[in-house]
């Protein structure tokens, strides 16, 4: 029925954040025209959480070894937006993209659906 999912990140410095995703994170991409890069994402999953607040959406990059990912990104001189925290169901941190926006990173400690 569906062929994929398309995630949009809004950025005050889209060119710098695109370069970061291409050059630092190393994501494969296509040029949709005029330098408008669209990136291939790793396998994904979606979860629906209850809320009493306004509905919102979040985007996390998942990894199997959060410490190793942090070490690799630190070699690129990146700033982390928060220390690693163990939430029981996963370990979380975030890295600052060139625009200043946070890109959350997540090591799940629960079964994952993206490997089904």
**Alpha carbon separation from 15 to 1, 35, 61, 65 (Å, rounded):** 33, 9, 20, 29
pLDDT in tens, 14-30: 999 999 999 999 999 99
Residue 24 lies in a domain: yes
With contact defined as beta carbons under 8 Å apart, do 60 and 41 qualify?
Answer: no
Share above pLDDT 70 across residues of the chain, in percent, rounded to a whole number: 100
| Range of the structural domain that residue 61 is part of | 14-108
Question: Is residue 1 included in any domain, yes or no?
Answer: no
Length of the chain: 116
49 within some domain: yes
Q: Would you give the end-to-end CA distance of the chain in angstroms? A: 17
Please indicate, yes or no, if residue 3 is contained in any of the structural domains. no
Band (43; pLDDT cuts 50, 70, 90)? very high
Distance CA(106)–CA(93), nearest Å, equals 7
What is the pLDDT confidence band of residue 74, given thresholds at 50, 70 and 90? very high
Asked if the structure places residue 115 within a domain, the reply is: no
Residue 2 lies in a domain: no
| CATH at residue 28 | 3.10.180.10
The two beta strands, 102-108 and 61-62, are parallel
How many domains does the chain divide into? 1
15: left (phi over 0), alpha (psi -120 to 50) or beta: alpha
In a domain, 116, yes or no: no
Q: Band the pLDDT of 102: cuts 50, 70, 90.
A: very high
8 domain residue, yes or no: no
- In this predicted structure, the answer to whether residue 94 has a pLDDT above a threshold of 90 is yes
């Amino acid at each position: 029925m569906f062929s994929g999912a398309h995630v949009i990140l809004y950025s005050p410095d889209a060119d710098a954040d695109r370069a970061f995703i291409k050059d630092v994170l190393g994501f494969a991409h296509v040029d949709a025209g005029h330098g408008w890069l669209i990136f291939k994402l790793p396998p994904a999953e979606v979860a629906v959480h209850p809320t009493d607040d306004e509905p919102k959406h979040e985007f996390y990059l998942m990894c199997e070894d959060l410490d190793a990912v942090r070490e690799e990104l630190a070699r690129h001189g990146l700033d982390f937006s928060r220390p690693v925290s163990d939430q029981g169901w996963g370990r979380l941190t975030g890295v600052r993209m060139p625009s200043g926006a946070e890109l959350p990173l997540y090591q799940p400690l629960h079964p994952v659906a993206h490997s089904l």
